[in-house]
Structure 1
Amino acid sequence: MGIVVFTMKASVIEMFLVLLVTGIHSDKEMTRKIKRPKFTVPQINCDVKAGKIINPEFIVKCPAGCQDPKYHVYGTGVYASYSSVCGAAVHSGVLSNSGGKILVRKVAGQSGYKGSFSNGVQSLSLPRWRESFVVSENKPPKGVIYPSTLTYSSSKSPAARADLWSTTPYTSSRKSPSAKPGLQRQDSSSAAFQEPMGADVSLGEMDFWKPGSVLLDAGFVPKEELSTQSLEPVSQGDPNCKVDLSFVIDGSSSIGKRRFRIQKQFLADIAQALDVGPAGPLMGVVQYGDNPATQFNLKTHMNSRDLKTAIEKISQRGGLSNVGRAISFVTKTFFSKANGNRGGAPNVAVVLVDGWPTDKVEEASRLARESGINIFFITVEAAVENEKRHVVEPNFANKAVCRTNSFYSINVQNWFSLHKTVQPLVKRVCDMDRLACSKTCLNSADIGFVIDGSSSVGTSNFRTVLQFVANLSKEFEISETDTRIGAVQYTYEQRLEFGFDKYSTKPDILNAIKRVGYWSGGTSTGAAIHYALEQLFKKSKPNKRKLMILITDGRSYDDVRIPAMAAHQKVITYAIGVAWAAQDELEVIATHPARDHSFFVDEFDNLYKSVPRIIRNICAEFNAQPRN
């Protein structure tokens, strides 16, 4: 009996083992058959902001066309989470405007975000934001699995809001008996969680799950948090594009209502592309017809949003296309301190012309340039062959700008193509290195050299003096509208070597200096100063700074005091003494304070050492003066 029982137990155990092994084998087979689910990259739109996505790290696919200025981006390299994810990817160069996959990683908030123009996208500056993100190419680390669906911080779907609420680690201290699962909006009597009109309220941007936050009730957000976190941040402006900008728009009857609307849309697009603010570019508008008028000045609107609203309200003036009159108006009135001109910022005027002006622009533009204004011309639908006889001033655009290198002038075939010039123009007006017409210490003077050619100098030293004059001249921007150079040589007598209007390029000036012949004779410095005032500086342009740089190696045979006093009323005088020059006489000749305007070297071969200091003093004096 015992043997039978034992045999039955053994059979049961054997059967159990067989079933167990079969089950394990079956599980392995099923495991083999179950394929790992394929990762699907979630697609997002261009307008999705990083702050709306809760996931700390994710891969997404962006569509084409995210380069559009309407998709705001804040920062460079590291972006505020209020930025468009895809727009930031294009700006950083990780993505082209044709779209693609990117890897996004959330990082800590920054105390400041720097705006910049890159890859066709103008990012904006921002003082601070609580959360940031960086974008990189779609190359995830080995073994890291990213979600196929993203968790959004806000959705129109109540279910999504319920899911969101369930993920937050906070619980309400008291619940309404009628409260339903998920985030509830309070009724209209409470302002605690009402979205301001036009505001994009993002729960992710309001730090609901930030450690230390206090949640008072389901669906309740403190008023002060809502007001500071939900509204779109206002930029202080891009400090890399700190320009004072005037748009001079065509309101003449010939443009018509439809094209005038296109022109206004162009202005709005420019305002959108520029990061306008007190620390960056400021923009005003002048409209011309028969007579010009300021629509709004530099300090009227301090951000791009307000600018766009103001542009929309502009109405057409009508009348002739008196462009020259408009430029004169801008020169005399627009760039004033009362209108918001900041002095240190370059002044830029962009003139739009439909067809051609009905008055002359060359002289008005010259005066504007010499007042330190960078003139840009955008001409649309220029005159065709049979219309050219009506043009008052042929080739007016090239005559109006300071450089005929196509940097300052843009011709557009028709108004419907005007939008294509938005980004190129923004890039140009923000290119601080190439705004060559703006007044600086190096491009706004008429400089007259008064050179001692007396016998004590000698031929060899005279060539050294000429090299010194050339070295100084090289430092300046030389052209007909920038700095101009003239020279006088003196002994007992005086000779005009060349006047301000003789040469207008740097190579020509340097060659002219090299050709000056040594004269030899006595040293009548007083007479030379008087001669330079009469024969050289009397032909200087009214708006130019006038600098006289006198070089001598000895004491004058005549009195220098009276001529020097006359010179101080008309020009800024620098006195350079060499070897046997009298220090007291140099100080009389030099403009006050003498320590900044008189220089002495013990021998001719050391003249070159004083060049940097002279240039530095010229620029320091210029920068200390009020602008415009």
Structure 2
Amino acid sequence: LKKEIRLLLRILIINPEFIAKCPPGCQDVKYHVYGTDIYASFSSVCSAAIHSGIIDNTGGKILVQKVASHSGYRGSFSNGVRSLSLPRWRESFLVAGNVGKHQVHSQAAQRTFSVFVCLTSDCKVDLSFLIDGSWSIGKRRFQIQKQFLSNVVEALDVGSAGPLMGIIQYGNNPSTEFNLKTYTNSKDIRNAIEKIPQKGGLSNVGRALSFVNKNFFLDANGNRGGAPNVVVVMVDGWPTDKVEEASRLARESGINIFFVTIEGAAENEKQNVIETDFVDKAVCRTNGFYSINVPSWFSLHKAVQPLVKRVCDTNRLVCSKTCLNSADIGFVIDGSSSVGTDNFRTVLQFVANISKEFEISDTDTRIGAVQYTYEQRLEFGFDKYSSKQDVLSAIKRISYWSGGTSTGAAISYASEQLFNKSKPNKRKIMIVITDGRSYDDVRVPAMTAHQNGVIAYSIGIAWAAQDELEAIATDPDKEHSFFVDEFDNLYQFVNQLIQNICTEFNSQPRN
């Protein structure tokens, strides 16, 4: 709410009227409204529009017009929204519908602002902005850049429980304006931004990225460890040095690199560009998510919300994802009669030894387990436990079932009960552990799992059938299937299994 209030106040102060695009599903008591017909300026724009009957909870476009301060705002209940009373406030607004029918004359009103009142304030990232201080940018555009940063800070709602932010200015050489621990609220950062002088020089972005990688995200500078590291590079035109090697090293350190490029090279300037595809060489993925191109400095304000939304989408910050913190891992455990009680405890220890190597939480790797005989039982799902200790305790509590061996049905069950509930952007890893030949077909269930994006590993013990282990395993079989003659030797495969999971993760294409 604080984020929307501050962003809204700034928009209202700058723009006498504008069009707001309200997303669906924002009728919520958390977003307060003050007044009836005329609303205090720190009211939720979209909730006010619902209250006045202009839109419903499915959202839509509205026209917002700034009006003078009001001596009193009357509260009322209308269209499912309770508005509150207020004695006075320094600024007000009106909302109107049927935007297409309005004669909108002012330039400000012709812009459409997406009012993301439903964005979560849970945006815990450690963020560094590399701002362009080169002489080519000029004094006026340097000021526009600082205003953009100030708007981003307001939209982010900087704080110790959410995003923290530092700024590095680059020219010939980079220098830190302030680091992550210098300021812990938006107001102080905005004041600091206003005082930043332009340093001049060239646009040595590669040198700046090397500086960030070596110097910025240190514990001594306020790096929190559990928060993803994000760098946003502002570039006027193009870099005057190479970025590829410095970017690669930064990405491999887990730094998520975003580029905001403004006014790229004209045709007659392209021969001056050292690396024509410098953005794709630098960013974490070349799919467009990590790069925003702005054709003119005077439209830079439009990039505020898209950029904030992306840097706060922690599930998609792939450079901070490693093989140990980015998977949903489901164990499919044979509990048939041939295993026996003592050997079953050995299997559970093997499962625990694998699990404890991963970083386990709601947002990192999650663990689930299924035990099977002729039947199947969900021991616990991915959303059940969110700490390593709780997962290890749950594994220890699994009780031996005893019965037949229907591995194919168990794979189908795990696909339905575990992996159908996996989070988007999570790697889905199934580890099947069995000591004998299945009574049913494993090929079709395994093939279906593979087609649904599940990476399957098979662990065979004693009487397990090699052909079935290979059918269960994702190709190439040799890297995804293991066999050991005795239960007591299972421990030998822990390190190899982790290594294979990580090798496969690191070989993923960057796009």
After TM superposition, the score normalised by the length of structure 1 is 0.42
Gaps of 5+ in 1: 1-45, 49-62, 69-74, 104-117, 122-132, 156-236, 446-462, 484-505, 515-548, 556-573, 592-596, 599-613, 623-628
| Deviation of 1:441 (Å) | 3.9
For residues 47-86 of structure 1, the aligned pairs below 5 Å read: 64-65=17-18, 77-79=29-31, 85-86=40-41
For residues 611-622 of structure 1, the aligned pairs below 5 Å read: none
For residues 406-555 of structure 1, the aligned pairs below 5 Å read: 406-441=288-323, 553=461
| Deviation of 1:414 (Å) | 1.7
Paired AA for residue 426 in structure 1: V
CA distance in 2, matches of 1:429, 1:347: 10
CA distance in 2, matches of 1:253, 1:584: 68
For residues 297-446 of structure 1, the aligned pairs below 5 Å read: 297-441=179-323
CA distance in 2, matches of 1:134, 1:429: 37
Paired AA for residue 262 in structure 2: V
Given candidates 140, 152, 173, the residue that maps to 2:87 is: 152
Q: Say if 2:33 and 2:43, in contact at 8 Å, map to a contact too.
A: no
Q: Say if 1:66 and 1:90, in contact at 8 Å, map to a contact too.
A: no
Q: Is 1:95 matched with 2:49?
A: yes
CA distance in 2, matches of 1:134, 1:368: 53
**Equivalent residue number for residue 232 of structure 1:** none
Paired AA for residue 485 in structure 2: A
**Equivalent residue number for residue 487 of structure 2:** 583
1:324-378 Cα distance to aligned partner (Å, 9 max, x none): 1111111222111111111111111110001111111122222222211111101
CA distance in 2, matches of 1:399, 1:508: 31
Q: Say if 1:354 and 1:380, in contact at 8 Å, map to a contact too.
A: yes
**Equivalent residue number for residue 134 of structure 2:** 252
**Equivalent residue number for residue 508 of structure 2:** none
Gaps of 5+ in 2: 1-7, 11-15, 22-26, 63-73, 91-118, 328-406, 429-448, 464-478, 506-511
Any idea what SS the aligned residue of 1:405 has?
A: coil
| Deviation of 1:399 (Å) | 2.0
Paired AA for residue 77 in structure 1: V
CA distance in 2, matches of 1:283, 1:85: 30
Given candidates 171, 174, 178, the residue that maps to 1:289 is: 171
CA distance in 2, matches of 1:377, 1:307: 21
Alpha-carbon distance change, 260 to 440 in structure 1, aligned in 2, over 3 angstroms = same
Any idea what SS the aligned residue of 1:247 has?
A: strand
1:451-493 Cα distance to aligned partner (Å, 9 max, x none): xxxxxxxxxxxx99xx99xx999999999xx99xxxxxxxxxx
Any idea what SS the aligned residue of 1:241 has?
A: coil
Q: Say if 1:238 and 1:277, in contact at 8 Å, map to a contact too.
A: no
1:150-183 Cα distance to aligned partner (Å, 9 max, x none): 983589xxxxxxxxxxxxxxxxxxxxxxxxxxxx
For residues 569-608 of structure 1, the aligned pairs below 5 Å read: 578=483, 581-588=485-492, 590-591=494-495
Alpha-carbon distance change, 508 to 575 in structure 1, aligned in 2, over 3 angstroms = closer
| Deviation of 1:89 (Å) | 3.3
CA distance in 1, matches of 2:451, 2:275: 29
CA distance in 2, matches of 1:424, 1:269: 12
Alpha-carbon distance change, 444 to 47 in structure 1, aligned in 2, over 3 angstroms = closer
Alpha-carbon distance change, 381 to 154 in structure 1, aligned in 2, over 3 angstroms = closer
Higher relative contact order (CA 8 A, sep 6+): 2
1:75-117 Cα distance to aligned partner (Å, 9 max, x none): 963346899745533243x429xxx9479xxxxxxxxxxxxxx
| Deviation of 1:402 (Å) | 2.2
CA distance in 1, matches of 2:146, 2:81: 46
CA distance in 2, matches of 1:417, 1:47: 20
Q: Which of the pair has more CA radius of gyration?
A: 1
| Deviation of 1:584 (Å) | 3.4
Q: Say if 2:229 and 2:256, in contact at 8 Å, map to a contact too.
A: yes
| Deviation of 1:265 (Å) | 1.0
CA distance in 1, matches of 2:87, 2:156: 30
Alpha-carbon distance change, 135 to 554 in structure 1, aligned in 2, over 3 angstroms = farther
Any idea what SS the aligned residue of 1:245 has?
A: strand
Paired AA for residue 90 in structure 1: V
| Deviation of 1:243 (Å) | 1.1
Q: Say if 1:66 and 1:86, in contact at 8 Å, map to a contact too.
A: no
